[in-house]
Chains A and B, each alone.
Chain A
Amino acid sequence: GEDVEQSLFLSVREGDSSVINCTYTDSSSTYLYWYKQEPGAGLQLLTYIFSNMDMKQDQRLTVLLNKKDKHLSLRIADTQTGDSAIYFCAESKRGSSNTGKLIFGQGTTLQVKP
Chain B
Amino acid sequence: AQSVTQPDIHITVSEGASLELRCNYSYGATPYLFWYVQSPGQGLQLLLKYFSGDTLVQGIKGFEAEFKRSQSSFNLRKPSVHWSDAAEYFCAVDSGENAGNMLTFGGGTRLMVKP
Q: Do A and B belong to a common assembly?
A: no
